[in-house]
Chains A and B, each alone.
Chain A
Amino acid sequence: MKAAPNLALFEKAMLPHLDAAYNLARWLTRNEDDAQDVVQEAYLRAFHFFDGFRGGDGRAWLLAVVRNTALTWLRRERGSTHVSFDEEMHVPAAAAATVETKLVEGAKFAELRNCLDLLPLEFREAVVMRELEEMPYRDIAEAASVPIGTVMSRLSRARQRLQDCLAARLREASE
């Protein structure tokens, strides 16, 4: 029989990364309740696979589990992963309401969040891990299970899209 991982060790190593886990899950699922369920499930999975954790950066290791759990979750809940790389930037109906809004801080906040939410999942997670978690490329690559070069190109394309999206929103708002 396989020995169960040590729960106390697991909690000591992984619970400090709970905010990082939740933040990523929240950005991926775009929903508070789903994010909580995803994080809970991810911790159970992570505990199950804790023997496979060889030390190193616990956050990147945990976020890889959170990410996989979230992808499975989205697939199950919505019938598809909805990971699209279409070049067309869709402007949601909600954006129309902000057209007349002056670009005060509150609006900028909303615009930025909208633009981030519009990014394809792979781009969004790269930005969240780089800019909000301030993770190095190496850790993002581990969490997303891709080579570092892919992280760099995703980040670059994500930034380009964000700049375009924000510029378009600003133009609309000032017209």
Chain B
Amino acid sequence: MTCAPVKSLLEPYLDEELDAVQRAQVAEHLAACGSCAEMHARLLELRTAIRAHAPYYRAPASLPQRIRFSLRQANRPAAGPWRRIAIAAAILLSASAAWNVALFRWHTSHADLIAQNVLSSHVRSLMGAHLLDVPSSDRHTVKPWFNGKLDFSPNVRDLAAQGFPLIGGRMDYVDDRPVAVLVYQRRQHVVNLFTWPAAASAGKEFSRNGYQAAGWNTGGMAYWAISDIGAAELRQFESLYKQ
């Protein structure tokens, strides 16, 4: 081979895109031709410099989770466990007239009404209507968002390091008043934490249709956490949040 064809093959040679015959021909020419060998050496030098000095930007550690979450948001009405939740919720809501007495035979005490509000709000939030008003994993974004919307400021805690990353917050309506809902994630599960100012009225656990809920009061605030994670994990969430 002469220099002209070899020069046009130098980069495919470098990029290992030549077949065995061409590769052998180029190699043979490079061994004999100083000027082509020098061009090849400069290309090789450039490659070495790029691979040594151009940063390979790896995805931030939080990105996979963010993507998984947004995929689930987008996918919610159509597939997987979300479909089952949506169907279950639709059935529950269509039976809402019979909700307290016939379906669950709940007492209509005040605390039970609140628990019922919390459960139906949780189910509704998973149906895709309204999970997050402020999607953010930063508590310094979530907390101020409630300013001016509520007559109290919720205690927003970041529990990402403990396995319950904050994913945002929303406003909701429970116990005849607007409340703050802080939304956390546990693997693929959503934990809704409802909070509003109240004297002692919560302080109980319940388990209904695969949902776990826990209520407590601290510092003049009522809290209800609800999710489809197990009771032990929800208690773990409660104690982490209280710390």
Interface residues on B, range: 20 to 34
CB <8 Å contact, B74 and A130? no
| B17 is an interface residue with CB less than 8 A from chain A | yes
A112 at the A/B interface (Cβ < 8 Å)?
yes
Identify which of A16-24, A69-77, A82-90, A92-100 touches chain B. A16-24
Asked if B54 lies at the interface with its beta carbon under 8 angstroms from chain A, I say yes
Q: In B54-86, which residues have CB < 8 Å from any A CB?
A: 54-60, 63-64, 66-68, 70-72, 74-75, 78-80
Across the interface, A43 reaches (CB within 8 A) one of B53, B54, B70, namely B70
Number of chain A residues close to chain B: CB under 8 A: 44
Given the interface pairs A113-B54, A131-B51, the reply to whether A159 lies near B12 with Cβ below 8 Å is: no
Q: Please, which residues of chain B bring their CB within 8 A of the CB of A163? A: 42, 46
Q: Chain A's interface: helix, strand, loop or mixed, by majority?
A: helix
**CA–CA, A70 and B43, complex, Å:** 29
Tell me the dominant secondary structure on chain B's binding face. Answer: helix
Q: Does A60 contact B (CB under 8 A)?
A: no
4 cross-chain pairs, A with B, having the tightest CB-CB distances, nearest first? A4-B78, A22-B59, A26-B57, A112-B53
Chain A residues proximal to chain B, CB less than 8 Å = 3-4, 6-8, 10-11, 15, 18-19, 21-23, 26-27, 32, 35-36, 39-40, 43-44, 47-48, 105, 108-109, 112-113, 116, 127-128, 130-132, 136-137, 152, 155-156, 159, 162-163, 166
Give residues in B with beta carbon < 8 Å to A.
11-12, 15-17, 42-43, 46-47, 49-51, 53-60, 63-64, 66-68, 70-72, 74-75, 78-80
